[in-house]
Chain A
């Protein structure tokens, strides 16, 4: 979608056919989750367009980068904290 700003934020999610397939934006990676059956019908075309626009936005954003590494290192998640359970 034109309103999917690939790699620009960590908060956008493109949802296709409810949440059959979701494309979750991120500043370091973008995740696809779910499964989508594209029928030979108008609904299928709408879904295919949405998917294509998202992938086009991702490709364009990556091609704009001057110095892409071969494989970027994953940043490890921050350590979780710990508290006494307030409900027991």
Chain B
């Protein structure tokens, strides 16, 4: 019986990888595809109540975090007042996830990929504090530039009714910095890919993971090249659009 159960569990977990259980958070139900095969080892899809994460046991954090923002949900999100706690994700096998100790005294902020401020109910907000949704982020960047970028993206979603947003870290260069005993990789840059169906608009934002007020607008194709990922849910026809910049950032 035990053996049968184990087989069943393996079959189930294989199934989860093959067919995402939460396609509603990705445009046209299609999550990013890893075109750089070196990103693929030890990745796990984690579904939460209003966002999804592809977690990497190599970086000890997310490779991307996906959310579908709607005007209605963002209205609810603004009403949230609650105390949350960062936590080590129980869904990850030991050694794959980051630990609270890794971040303590690291000098980095625990930077949300799908932001707490987008979550539209208490359960979702609590879940967004999983370390599976967190990367080591420069404190100044997180609290200033990045917060402004998150607000600007929310405004776009409110204006057009909805938007699909993917947020994640980039790792460029020959050597990377790490924090903590788990050796959590410190991203060199952070990105967002935003797709606004009603505006027939798609674009990417990239910033260095340092204290800066500068960000760059990229086309989706450019970001696909930089990230080693492809975004099949975004219409190809929109992937070369050049967008000027974000309002209010």
Interfacial residues, chain A to chain B (CB-CB below 8 A): 1, 3-4, 9-20, 22, 33-34, 43, 46-47, 50, 75, 77-78, 80-88
Q: With the chains together, A77 CA to B84 CA distance in Å?
A: 24
Report whether A81 and B183 are in contact in the complex, using a CB–CB cutoff of 8 Å.
yes
Q: Which residue of chain A has its CB nearest to the CB of B86?
A: A11
Q: With the chains together, A10 CA to B172 CA distance in Å?
A: 30
Contact count band on B: 35 or more
Shortest Cβ distance from residue A78 to the other chain B in the assembled complex, whole angstroms: 5
Shortest Cβ distance from residue B130 to the other chain A in the assembled complex, whole angstroms: 12
Most A CB within 10 A of own CB, among B36, B78, B108: B78
Report whether B78 and A13 are in contact in the complex, using a CB–CB cutoff of 8 Å.
no
Residue numbers in A under 8 Å from B125 (CB-CB): 15
Shortest Cβ distance from residue B42 to the other chain A in the assembled complex, whole angstroms: 11
Q: With the chains together, A56 CA to B130 CA distance in Å?
A: 28
Shortest Cβ distance from residue A63 to the other chain B in the assembled complex, whole angstroms: 21
Report whether A82 and B175 are in contact in the complex, using a CB–CB cutoff of 8 Å.
yes
Shortest Cβ distance from residue A69 to the other chain B in the assembled complex, whole angstroms: 19
B residues 102-137 touching A (CB-CB < 8 Å)? 104-108, 115-119, 125, 129
Shortest Cβ distance from residue B212 to the other chain A in the assembled complex, whole angstroms: 17
Q: With the chains together, A29 CA to B116 CA distance in Å?
A: 22
Given A17-B78, A80-B178, A85-B173, verify A10-B104 contact (CB < 8 Å). yes
Q: With the chains together, A15 CA to B125 CA distance in Å?
A: 9
Residue numbers in B under 8 Å from A17 (CB-CB): 78-81
